[in-house]
Amino acid sequence: MAENIDVQKDHSMVLQKQMIAEHYQRLADAPKTGDKVVYTFVPGNLTELIRSFGALPVLPEINALQSGMRGKSRDYIAEAERRGHSEDVCTYVKCDLGMVKGGNIGPTGLPLPKPDLLLLSYTGCYTFMKWFELLREEYDCPTVFLQIPYQGAGELEPEHRKYVVDQIKEKVIPALEQVTGRKYDEDGLRRRLGLAAQAEDDLVAVLQSAKQKPSPIDAYFGGVYYIGPIFSAFRGTEEGVAYYRELRKEVEARTAQKRGPITPDGPLDDQRYRLVVEGPPNWTHFRDFWRMFSSWQAVVVASTYTKVGGTYDFGFRHDEQDPLGTMADYCGGCYTNLNLPSRVDMLCNYIEEYGANGFLINSVKSCNSFSAGQLMMLREVEKRTGIPGAFIESDLVDPRYFSPANIKNRLESYLQMIDARAQGGN
């Protein structure tokens, strides 16, 4: 989801940077142009529907992580805590609220407009609900809550799907019609869903290229760049399709050349460790965190974080023939809406399918939707795969909870243990 770190220098990154800059310029101009603005979140976002009404999406957690990468989150969090928010509150929330109180300046240095609508798709993170309550108090604007049933039994039941479709029909669409002054355009939505499916095909090809040896991508650190457009404002757009077409070509070229991914220290062609990672990355020290892996010739071949906005590599595609039903399926299948056994199944599948020899959890202090149950998941994955796991801790955007020495020591000890097991035949 990041877009402005000088790491990946392929043409796709130039496209992505240009796309995002243009989007934030449109947002900054919205008060003058009359474009309507909808704040929403990444998991379960209805970007195609929002854009079919001519509205522009803003994703608060994207702004928060970008603030962390730019070294601004410490001050924003401090401002939120001065206003009474606890140290234990999700640091995305505190960073965003601090940014709002500081003028609501977005990642490109341009002001973000006030929302015309707050659209919450509830997909397993209770914090999102409280976050939007605070934003509603701040902006005094309409709020729509799309309730997504939790996949307690491991799948979205037919009655759950109908429940979501009915909410989209009866609550979400009328709210968008009222805010934008436009009528629901199903043909326009179908077109955008078709574009989304094209981009999803190319993204899956990119992610599954990591099955190759050497892997041409890093599916965790590099992966946050790859998922940026599709998880934020560009799913269902021509720009999104063009980006993923270009990205796929670049990755296929690296695969043909048996080249590894670009890292902060250059290409990682010689890959000693193939890891699967659970949990979000740390954003305040992103490049340092990545270097801890690449310096040991460790490449991440699959990660759960890159599924937080959609589990496309398990077969889901937006279906233009069933526009409301496919949006219900999408919302229900996001990673944060999956039960713990489903998450364990995903991790075990990745370890087997991608030929991993290591499994790592980055437990984020302030993110309960990811961190809850991770130790149980670690034990279960170890038992089922025979692959030893490791557990490290950091935070999303609070630099106070990133300990470089501690994380580096744990990672190095873990990789040395993998070597010892390999040499011992265990």
19-44: pLDDT as tens digits: 999 999 999 999 999 999 999 999 99
Q: Could you tell me if residue 4 is inside a domain? A: no
- Residue percentage of the chain with pLDDT more than 70: 97
Per-residue pLDDT at 366:
86
Domain end, chosen from 167, 184, 201, is at: 184
Looking at residue 152, what is its pLDDT?
A: 85
What is the model's pLDDT at position 210?
98
Q: What is the DSSP code (8-state) at residue 4? A: -
How far apart are the C-alpha atoms of 339 and 24, rounded to whole Å?
A: 35
Return mean pLDDT, the chain.
93
How much is the pLDDT for 52? 98
pLDDT at residue 380 in the model: 98
pLDDT band at 3 (very low <50, low <70, confident <90, very high): very low
Domain identity same for 215 and 104: no
Look at residue 372 and tell me if it is in a domain.
yes
Statement: residue 426 has pLDDT above 60: no
Indicate whether 2 pLDDT > 70. Answer: no
Distances (CA, A) of 331 to 75, 168, 266, 310: 33, 11, 37, 8
pLDDT score of 376: 95
Partners of 38 in the β-ladder? 57, 117
Count of domains for the chain: 2
CA distance 267 to 106: 31
Task: Please tell me the chain's helix, strand, coil percentages from 3-state DSSP, rounded to the nearest 5.
Answer: 55, 10, 35
- 264 burial type by CB count under 10 A (0-12 exposed, 13-18 middle, 19+ buried): middle
Write out the H or E segment, with its range, that includes residue 300. Answer: strand 298-303
195 & 176 share domain: no
Name 126's bridge partners: none
Residue 9 has a pLDDT of 58
d(CA 144, CA 176): 9
Are 173 and 212 members of one domain?
Answer: no
pLDDT at 127: 87
Cβ within 8 Å of residue 315, ≥6 positions away:
none
Whether residues 281 and 198 share a domain: the answer is yes
> Within this chain, do residues 109 and 245 fall inside the same structural domain, yes or no?
no
CA distance 146 to 122: 6
pLDDT class of 395 with cuts at 50, 70, 90: very high
Please write the tens of the pLDDT for every residue from 268-293. Answer: 999 999 999 999 999 999 999 999 99
Q: Check pLDDT > 60 for residue 6.
A: no
CATH label of the domain that carries residue 153: 3.40.50.11890
Taking the C-alpha atoms of residue 58 and residue 201, their distance in angstroms, rounded to an integer, is 24
Which of 30-34, 152-156, 251-255, 413-417 shows the lowest per-residue confidence on average (mean pLDDT)? 152-156
* Claim to verify: residue 212 and residue 72 sit in the same structural domain: no
**Mean pLDDT in residue range 314-327:** 97
Among the candidates 184, 205, 240, a domain finishes at: 184
Residues 98 and 129 in one domain: yes
- Identify the domain containing residue 42 by its residue range: 11-184
Which residue shows structure tokens 């990444």?
A: 42
Kindly state the average pLDDT of the residues 125-129. 86
Instruction: Considering only residues 424 and 200, tell me which one the structure prediction assigns the higher pLDDT.
Output: 200
Question: Which of 51-65, 276-290, 312-326, 368-382 has the least mean pLDDT?
Answer: 368-382
Where does the pLDDT of residue 4 fall: very low under 50, low under 70, confident under 90, or very high at 90 and above? Answer: very low
**Could you tell me if 247 and 334 lie in one domain?**
yes
Domain termination site, one of 156, 184, 212: 184
Contact partners, residue 37, CB within 8 Å, separation at least 6: 27, 30, 55, 56, 57, 58, 113, 114, 115, 116, 117
CATH number of the domain at 235, please.
3.40.50.11900
Query: What does the pLDDT read at residue 320?
Result: 98
Regarding whether 283 and 203 lie in a shared domain, the answer is yes
- Highest mean pLDDT of the ranges 120-124, 259-263, 363-367: 259-263
Residue 373 within a domain: yes
Bridge partners (DSSP) of residue 207 are none
**pLDDT one-digit tens code per residue, 152-200:** 888 889 999 999 999 999 999 999 999 999 999 999 999 999 999 999 9
> Which pTM value belongs to this model?
0.94
What is the percentage of the chain residues whose pLDDT exceeds 90? 87
- Binned at pLDDT 50, 70 and 90, residue 5 comes out as very low
